[in-house]
C-alpha cells in the first residue's frame, strides 16, 4: 500500500476513535445532568409536567418562557415537555407548521422548486394555564379553534 493511503486510513480511524472516546461521553453526561436538574426542580417546587403534543408531522411548538423565566425541560425516550408550578402560570409559546407534502417536494426538487411552500406561523402568544397538583397536561395547537389548548391527561 502507498504510504499516503496508509496515513489517510490512520487519520480516519483516529478521528472515529476520538469521536467515540470524547463526544459520546459528553452527550451522555449532558443528558444525565439535564434529567437530574429537572428531577430536582420537580421535587423542590412540587412542579407539574406539561408535555408538548404534536398534532401534525411537520409542526413545531416552541416554549420561550414560563412565568417570565426560561423553562425547565424534561424528556423521556418518546416525549418531551416542561415544568410549571401549581396555580396560575403564564406560558409564552409560538407554533409553526408546513403542509405535509412540503418535505416531499423539497426532497424531489433538490431544495429548489418553482413555487414557494408557505410555512405557517402563529406568533408568540402568552397563554395562561391553571395547573392542579398531581396532574399532568398536554399542550398543543388546535387548528380548528386556532388557539393553544391544554388538556389534563392524569
Q: What is the pLDDT of residues 48-92, one digit of tens each?
A: 889 898 877 678 888 999 999 888 888 777 888 888 888 899 999
- CB-based contact 119:98 (threshold 8 Å): yes
Take residue 86 and report the three cell numbers written for it. 401549581
pLDDT at 145 over 70: yes
Sheet holding 80-84, edge to edge: 73-75, 80-84, 48-52, 136-142, 147-152
Q: Which residues pair with 121 in a beta bridge?
A: 96
Predicted TM-score (pTM) of the model is 0.64
> Kind and range of the H or E element at 39?
helix 24-45
Q: Which of 75, 90, 87 is nearest to 46 (CA)?
A: 87
Amino acid at each position: 500500500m502507498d504510504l499516503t493511503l496508509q496515513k489517510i486510513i490512520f487519520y480516519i480511524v483516529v478521528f472515529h476513535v476520538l469521536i467515540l472516546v470524547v463526544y459520546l461521553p459528553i452527550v451522555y453526561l449532558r443528558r444525565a445532568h439535564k434529567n437530574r436538574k429537572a428531577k430536582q426542580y420537580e421535587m423542590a417546587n412540587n412542579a407539574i409536567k406539561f408535555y408538548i403534543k404534536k398534532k401534525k408531522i411537520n409542526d413545531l411548538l416552541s416554549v420561550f418562557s414560563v412565568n417570565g423565566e426560561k423553562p425547565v425541560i424534561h424528556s423521556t425516550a418518546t416525549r418531551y415537555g416542561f415544568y410549571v408550578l401549581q396555580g396560575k402560570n403564564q406560558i409564552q409559546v409560538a407554533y409553526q407548521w408546513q403542509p405535509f407534502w412540503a418535505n416531499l417536494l423539497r426532497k424531489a426538487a433538490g431544495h429548489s422548486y418553482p413555487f414557494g411552500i408557505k410555512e405557517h406561523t402563529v406568533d408568540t402568544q402568552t397563554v395562561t394555564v391553571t395547573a392542579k397538583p398531581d396532574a399532568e397536561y398536554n399542550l398543543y395547537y388546535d387548528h380548528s379553534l386556532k388557539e393553544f389548548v391544554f388538556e389534563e391527561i392524569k
